[in-house]
Amino acid sequence: MISETEYKKRRETLAEQLKNNSLSVLFSAVQQIRSNDTEYVFRQNSNFYYMTGFKEDNATLVFLKKKGKTKTILFVQKKDKLKELWTGKRLGVKQSKKRFLIDKVYAQEDFETKLKEYMQGITSINYDFNSYTDKAKVLHAYAKDMLSYANLAKPIEQMRLYKSPTEIALIRKAIAITKEAHHRAMHMSKKCNYEYELQAEIEYVFKKNAALSDAYTSIVAGGNNANTLHYIDNNKPLHHGDLILIDAGCEYNYYASDITRSIPTSGKFTQAQKELYEMVLEVELAIIKMIQPNIKRTQLQKKSEELLCAGMVKLGILKGDVKKLLKKQKHKKYYPHGIGHWMGIDVHDQAPYKDENGKELLLQSGMVMTIEPGVYIEKDDTNVPLKYRGIGIRIEDDILVTDEGHENLSQGIAKTINEIEKYA
Ligand code: GLY
Ligand code: MN
Ligand code: MN
């Protein structure tokens, strides 16, 4: 668990970066309607959560910086017996004051009045441009007249890039649960007739282990469906002899995992599947090996394209000179996506890969990144040997950059052909 002291430290780190005479505001997420009288499960805004650890909606965090000193103020929902009867207990003003190491706590209803008061002498406003809710509109009305206003998400994203030991522990836990889920899928694949059955087996393990949500909608794609990168229908029959691409990861206490495995429905890879799988696996391992401080993501991207392109030439999927094929981007038809992304509170942790001057970030100890090369061959692609058509393979792991190089946090999830077949 992340302590109140750690949250306080995060707020202090952010406050140091704020200008004098500035007002900075973070809004909670807004409860979303699914359809008549039903709501989606509430999920806190990631930046708001990172700064507070507070899971209720209708809340606002304010940083008021004057004369080099920052006051933090939290607005929360008031206690309300009737509303709490329907939607559950609220912390309320008093309990929030006790729990959070925040200077002042008020009821949400006081926000606009207090805002007017805080605005005295303010010359710049910061807020998260991504959370443009009705409350943000009130603020925006002020911001337009300001000397300067800036996106508060930017400095928070930078902080979120570097995971603390407690954050890494939560990611490890999410991955441990996801490991069990993928192993169950490997074991159950022969017994499942539809993609959704396998999805249920995976998500059963998530919930059973207190990971109450998936970090993104699970992809369970049998056969040719694996060639649709974001396939989430998961409603087709599984056919004996096909591969199933499973991209599924749970969210545990607001921290993600993001794992892909490609496994056989029959429990055994065919010869053609083996050939393609071994090739992608070799590339994945080679890219993971490169991860260490001061390397750039584009270096990993470039190398993965070179290796996959060369691998595809070897298998006869692409024909010609590797360098020329790369130059003409021919490999992109079969490997159209990035090698990986930041991961943390969000599965795609919201941080740019370049600094504000357009210079690419170097990987540093404490960052977490996925590595996920893939090859996707449509069933009707007559340019490719028949035996490979209709196969889509991606292999994805979650990697922590360390001082020494890296640690594959998902190392324990079966990945070689032997390991996967043993689980069947
Ligand atoms: N699961 C989404 C991704 O791999 O990026
Ligand atoms: Mn990913
Ligand atoms: Mn994924």
Return the ligand 1 atom nearest residue 219 CA. Answer: 1
Q: Are residues 218 and 108 in the same domain?
A: no
Whether residue 162 lies in the annotated active site: no
Residues 205 and 259 in one domain: yes
Domain end, chosen from 113, 129, 158, is at: 158
Catalytic annotation, pick one of 372, 388, 398, 406 = 372
The atom of ligand 1 lying closest to the CA of 260 is 4
Pocket mutation for ligand 1, best pick of 175, 259, 343, 348 (most atoms within 8 Å of C-beta): 348
Q: Look at residue 411 in the predicted model and tell me its pLDDT.
A: 98
Query: Does residue 91 sit in the same domain as residue 56?
Result: yes
CATH number at residue 365: 3.90.230.10
Residue nearest to atom 3 of ligand 1 (CA): 258
pLDDT score, position 132: 67
* Same-domain pairing of 86 and 180: no
Last residue of a domain, one of 138, 158, 178: 158
pLDDT of residue 288: 99
- Catalytic status, residue 149: no
Answer yes or no: do 114 and 244 share one domain: no
Question: Which ligand 1 atom sits nearest the alpha carbon of residue 396?
Answer: 4
Three-state SS string over the chain comes to: CCCHHHHHHHHHHHHHHCCCCEEEEEECCCCCEEECCEECCCCCCHHHHHHHCCCCCCCEEEEEEECCEEEEEEEECCCCHHHHHHHCCCCHHHHHHHHCCCCEEEEHHHHHHHHHHHCCCCCEEEECCCCCCHHHHHHHHHHCCCCEEEECHHHHHHHHHCCCHHHHHHHHHHHHHHHHHHHHHHHHHHHCCEHHHHHHHHHHHHHHCCCCEECCCCEEEEHHHHHCCCCCCCCCECCCCCEEEEEECEEECCEECCEEEEEECCCCCCHHHHHHHHHHHHHHHHHHHHCCCCCEHHHHHHHHHHHHHHHHHHCCCCCCCHHHHHHCCHHHHCCCCCCCCECCCCCCCCCCCECCCCCECECCCCCEEEECCEEEECCCCCCCCHHHCCEEEECEEEEEECCCCEEECCCCCCCCHHHHHHHC
pLDDT the model gives residue 131: 79
The catalytically annotated residue of 396, 397, 398, 406 is 396
pLDDT tens string for the chain (424 positions)?
Answer: 899 999 999 999 999 999 999 999 999 999 999 999 999 999 999 999 999 999 999 999 999 999 999 999 999 999 999 999 999 999 999 999 999 999 999 999 999 899 989 999 999 999 998 876 777 787 877 777 777 889 999 999 999 999 999 999 999 999 999 999 999 999 999 999 999 999 999 999 999 999 999 999 999 999 999 999 999 999 999 999 999 999 999 999 999 999 999 999 999 999 999 999 999 999 999 999 999 999 999 999 999 999 999 999 999 999 999 999 999 999 999 999 999 999 999 999 989 899 889 999 999 999 999 999 999 999 999 999 999 999 999 999 999 999 999 999 999 999 999 999 999 8
Q: Which listed residue (376, 388, 389, 398) is catalytic?
A: 376
Q: Does residue 258 line the site of ligand 1, with CB under 6 A?
A: yes
Please indicate, yes or no, whether residues 202 and 313 belong to a single structural domain of this protein.
yes
Task: Report the predicted TM-score, pTM, of the whole model to 2 decimal places.
Answer: 0.97
Based on the fold, state whether residues 40 and 178 are members of the same structural domain.
no
Q: Tell me how many domains the chain contains.
A: 2
- Which of 213, 220, 247 has most ligand 1 atoms within 8 Å of its beta carbon, as the pocket-test mutant? 247
Q: Does 95 share its domain with 22?
A: yes
Tell me, using a 6 A CB cutoff, whether residue 372 lines ligand 1: yes
User: Is 403 among the residues known to form the active site?
Assistant: no
Ion ligand 2 — residues with CB < 5 Å: 258, 370
35 and 106 in a single domain? The answer is yes
Determine the distance separating the centroid of ligand 1 and the alpha carbon of 228, expressed in angstroms. Answer: 13
Q: Which of 90, 341, 389, 406 is catalytic?
A: 341
- Identify whether residues 236 and 138 lie together within a single domain: no
Tell me whether residue 132 is one of the annotated catalytic residues.
no
Statement to judge: residues 152 and 177 lie in one domain: no
The pLDDT value recorded for residue 146 is: 74
| End-of-domain residue from the set 158, 186, 209 | 158
- Could you confirm whether 394 is annotated as catalytic? yes
Full residue range of the structural domain in which residue 8 is found = 4-158
Which one is catalytic: 195, 242, 247, 275?
247
- Whether residues 229 and 299 share a domain: the answer is yes
Ligand 1, residue 394: give the atom nearest the CA.
Answer: 4
State yes or no: is 282 an active-site residue: no
CATH number at residue 116: 3.40.350.10
